[in-house]
Amino acid sequence: MNSIESFFISLESLLNQASSMAVVLLLRAAWISCTLPLLAAFIPSPQFSAFRRFLLLLAGRGKIMDSSSTKFSVPQRYFCHFYIVGFIWTTFLLVATWIYAYKMAPVVSESSLYSVIASHLTGVSQEFSFRNSHSSMGEYKYGIWNSVFLLLLMEAQVLRRLIESIYVFKYSPSARMHIAGYLTGLFFYTAAPLSLCCTYSVEVFKLVANLLAEFIVKGKDRMQVTEPSFREYVYPLLQLKWYAWIGAAFFFWGWIHQYRCHAILGSIRENGNKVNEYAIPECDWFEYVSSPHYLAESVIYGGLVIASRFSDITTWLVFVFTVANLSLAAGETHRWYVRKFDKYPRNRCAIIPFIY
């Protein structure tokens, strides 16, 4: 290999690295720009009261929606659109990242890893040499499989929410949500899954493009097909460190409680005699807070932070946005319950037990 070829290989590696960093920075900027207004709404100052009301107007949905904003609204049953988009997008990212992990970080000895990588994709192995100069190969491999693990958890979340939106929630025909909230939901379920694998997203998309191009050129019959191995696809996930499994435990703790709370809310609407009839929810985390399904969702995304080793800034930003957004809605929901029911339990908080 002459010096010119080496130069272009190094240049390509630098461009790939720069593209990956650009995706990460763009996502972080998006999460920060969405979170800062929410945090500002919690500032206890009269100067922010008008801004707080404006945000609550944009976040309005269902029973907490201002009747004056119905002009810029969509039916609340459109919530299912979030989970349809989220499920399709997360499934694509999961499958693509899993294939990438299988090809680029297979279960082989460290010494033979380079030769295995080179046999799969032409040109991609140079990225490893570039990355290896910055971090150990073991860390890189772990990061890929950790992203697969996080996407598996996210898949479990969006799939359950999709099923709930179809079979559990019985939205009133008159229930609406602001168009801004609708667009925010679409953004969230597009950006959140991508944030869990954004470090490798450019390389994953490049792999998918290469495989698609190979399929178009060679056709299905002429493509090199490797028999799938359960060990090579699953065994690396079983080797993840303790914090991944602690994070998964937190995730499913919140996951189970959110399902229970949604079932309680769904049963109240199902058993109601009137379309717009409401009752005080009881049982499970409703004994402590007015919006336990929001608390559970915060626990779910907190579990993703733990599973990502507490070290991924983008995952932290997803978590902070989730907590800020749901806390704002939970506060308004709590005030609605207090106004609606004279005998509403005074010991309940909005979303965080004994605190808020």
Give pLDDT tens digits for 39-57.
Answer: 999 998 888 889 999 998 8
pLDDT of residue 301: 98
Reported as a pLDDT band with limits 50, 70 and 90, residue 205 is very high
Q: Using the predicted structure, report yes or no on whether residue 282 has a pLDDT greater than 80.
A: yes
Q: Using the predicted structure, report yes or no on whether residue 19 has a pLDDT greater than 80.
A: yes
Q: Using the predicted structure, report yes or no on whether residue 128 has a pLDDT greater than 90.
A: no
When pLDDT is averaged across residues 159-174 and rounded to a whole number, the result is 90
Reported as a pLDDT band with limits 50, 70 and 90, residue 174 is confident
pLDDT of residue 231: 74
Average pLDDT value over all residues in the chain? 85
One-letter amino acid of 316: W
pLDDT of residue 303: 98
Strand partners, 74: 177
pLDDT of residue 38: 95
Count CB atoms within 10 A of the CB of residue 99. Answer: 16
Q: Using the predicted structure, report yes or no on whether residue 241 has a pLDDT greater than 60.
A: yes
pLDDT of residue 5: 58
Which comes out higher in pLDDT, residue 223 or 99?
A: 99
pLDDT of residue 18: 80
3-state helix, strand, coil in the chain (%, to 5): 75, 5, 25
Reported as a pLDDT band with limits 50, 70 and 90, residue 111 is very low
Q: Using the predicted structure, report yes or no on whether residue 290 has a pLDDT greater than 50.
A: yes
Reported as a pLDDT band with limits 50, 70 and 90, residue 126 is very low
Weakest-pLDDT range from 37-46, 111-120, 220-229, 337-346? 111-120
> Which residues lie below 8 Å from residue 89, measured CB to CB, with a gap of 6+?
189, 190, 193, 194
- CA distance linking residue 49 with residue 71, whole number of Å: 23
Q: Using the predicted structure, report yes or no on whether residue 125 has a pLDDT greater than 50.
A: no
Which comes out higher in pLDDT, residue 53 or 18?
A: 53
Reported as a pLDDT band with limits 50, 70 and 90, residue 141 is confident
When pLDDT is averaged across residues 8-24 and rounded to a whole number, the result is 74
When pLDDT is averaged across residues 29-38 and rounded to a whole number, the result is 97
When pLDDT is averaged across residues 217-245 and rounded to a whole number, the result is 77
When pLDDT is averaged across residues 292-302 and rounded to a whole number, the result is 97
One-letter amino acid of 134: H
When pLDDT is averaged across residues 250-255 and rounded to a whole number, the result is 98
- CA distance linking residue 17 with residue 127, whole number of Å: 8
Residues 341-350 pLDDT 10s: 999 999 999 9
pLDDT of residue 171: 83
Contact 315, 212 (CB under 8 A): no
Between the ranges 109-123, 135-149, 221-235, where is the mean pLDDT highest?
Answer: 135-149
DSSP 154-205: HHHHHHHHHHHHHHT----TT-EEEHHHHHHHHHHHHHHHHHTSGGGHHHHH
Strands 73-75 and 176-178: antiparallel
Q: Is the pTM of this model over 0.85?
A: yes
Q: Using the predicted structure, report yes or no on whether residue 80 has a pLDDT greater than 90.
A: yes
Scored b (16 or more CB within 10 A) or e, 138-161 reads eebbbbbbbbbbbbbbbbbbbebb
